[in-house]
Amino acid sequence: MKAAWKAGGVDGCKRLLEEKADEWKNVPLNVAVIGNSGVGKSSFINSIRGLTADDVELGAAAVGVKETTLEIRSYQHPDNPMLKLWDLPGLGTKVFPKATYLSKIVVDRYDFFLLMTADRFTENDTWLGKEIRRRNKKYFFVRTKIGVDISNDRQAHRRTHKEEALIREIRRSTQDHLRKDGCGDVPVFLIDNYELNKFEFEKLKQQMIQDFPELKKTALIFSLQSTSEEMVRVKVAELRSRIWKCAALSAAGAAVPFAPGLSVAIDLGIITHEAIFYFRQLGLDSSSLKRCAMLHSLDHVKLQSIVTRALGVRAAGAITFETMKMILQILLPRLVPLAAAAAVEEGTRAFLPLIGSLIAAPLSFGGTYLALKLILDKFEKPALDVMKFVADGVGMTTEIDGEKATSKVRGSEVAARWLD
Ligand SMILES: Nc1nc2c(ncn2[C@@H]2O[C@H](COP(=O)(O)OP(=O)(O)OP(=O)(O)O)[C@@H](O)[C@H]2O)c(=O)[nH]1
Ligand SMILES: [Mg+2]
């Protein structure tokens, strides 16, 4: 994104985003098979590929009674090569303790999870479920080794053993646990990796194929959201790096008092020109918002109100030098005392000397620098809010100032158009 911005500015970034939207047609869905060590993650991947652990020459995953998978590897789902199953090391071993597990497996790179357990529900299972949900990702809960449970129960209760009743009981207790953890709606599959025609192995295999388009859409939406937000951040970083240059220019220019009560001078001419540039670059001006609304079938008035609310000033209509000057004359006196107060309260060392020296020495350079920094900070928030709203409009709802905002078009429709 940074390279696209450097090479082609806004248009470069737009082209990259469009390419990314197309790329999704060829991007696989990354499914992580995750869970405690020894629950049968590698066995499941072999079984789904129609292999046994002995089919080493065909690339079967290693299976064993001790901690086995130490390297992360991916395998294709046999019915859909775009569905990539990642065999992960087990959680909670010496090499993969809980504290470093998620970072070691780079958890954020997966789109969907099969959370596997065997025997009893453990603390680790609950923790993993919460971590996945916290990332707004979906998962299926898979209980393996059901055949073992049945044979154990048959031996323990020789006279009263009933297979169906036992399966019902396992399902009920699993769902109870999930409900208690606040995830009652997670689909549960009871399987045995060595008895594929019994229990729900086949159902799980098919369900993944059936849900594939929906899961991929969700993954697409999240990717779109982060890419667009990333675009704003890259732009802000790039604009930030111009501030020193503009401030240096202003040192020679005509200075006016910064804000009432502060003996700091700024060059309002330079600042206004630069603020218009920030405003347009971050897509906050009316025509950018209209274009964005049209592109995503959203209500442009809603986008405008997001900007107005975040700025605390109405900035609709064409942005001329005069209108921006008026906006800045309202904004700056509000921003400077806030920044000064925050610096004093938090004892922000980096900021204090700057504020201090500005108050002490009414130099146009320092005043312009600070003003541009505050303006850019102030413009960044609405730009990010708009991007979030757009991404949410493509699939979710978002809260803006406590108000639930919904878009006209459901995300699945837009994503489906891309995925067609
Ligand atoms: N009976 C039965 N045994 C299973 C099942 N799944 C796995 N096993 C056995 O459980 C043991 C562990 O299986 P793996 O597939 O290596 O487990 P894993 O989760 O990949 O383990 P790590 O790689 O160490 O995390 C092996 O002895 C498998 O044969 C199952 O569904 N039924
Ligand atoms: Mg394994």
Shared-domain flag, residues 390 and 262:
yes
148 CA closest ligand 1 atom index: 1
Shared-domain flag, residues 343 and 194:
no
Task: Kindly state if the Cβ of 68 falls inside 6 Å of ligand 1.
Answer: yes
Shared-domain flag, residues 195 and 315:
no
Q: What is the pLDDT of residues 348-357, one digit of tens each?
A: 444 444 444 4
Q: What is the pLDDT of residues 148-180, one digit of tens each?
A: 999 999 999 999 999 999 999 999 999 999 998
Looking at the 3D structure of the chain, how many domains does it have? 2
pLDDT < 70 stretches in the chain: 1-27, 217-227, 246, 248-266, 336-366, 393-420
Task: Kindly state if the Cβ of 143 falls inside 6 Å of ligand 1.
Answer: no
Q: Which listed ligand is nearest to 67 at the C-alpha?
A: 1
Shared-domain flag, residues 178 and 251:
no
Task: Kindly state if the Cβ of 92 falls inside 6 Å of ligand 1.
Answer: no
Nearest CA to ligand 1 atom 7: 40
Residue 277: domain span: 242-419
Shared-domain flag, residues 179 and 271:
no
Shared-domain flag, residues 179 and 262:
no
70 CA closest ligand 1 atom index: 23
Shared-domain flag, residues 123 and 72:
yes
Q: Given this model, what pLDDT does residue 348 score?
A: 41
Both tokens of 350, joined, read: 């980096």
Shared-domain flag, residues 41 and 158:
yes
Task: Kindly state if the Cβ of 41 falls inside 6 Å of ligand 1.
Answer: yes
Q: Given this model, what pLDDT does residue 397 score?
A: 36
The rounded Å distance from CA 21 to ligand 1 centre is 39
Shared-domain flag, residues 214 and 246:
no
Q: Given this model, what pLDDT does residue 14 score?
A: 59
Asked if residue 21 is part of any domain, the answer here is: no
Task: Kindly state if the Cβ of 46 falls inside 6 Å of ligand 1.
Answer: no
Task: Kindly state if the Cβ of 192 falls inside 6 Å of ligand 1.
Answer: yes
Q: Given this model, what pLDDT does residue 102 score?
A: 94
Q: Given this model, what pLDDT does residue 155 score?
A: 95
Q: Domain boundary residue among 183, 218, 253?
A: 218
Asked if residue 170 is part of any domain, the answer here is: yes
Shared-domain flag, residues 331 and 187:
no
The sign of the dihedral angle between the CA atoms of 242, 224, 25, 187 is: positive
Q: Which listed ligand is nearest to 51 at the C-alpha?
A: 1
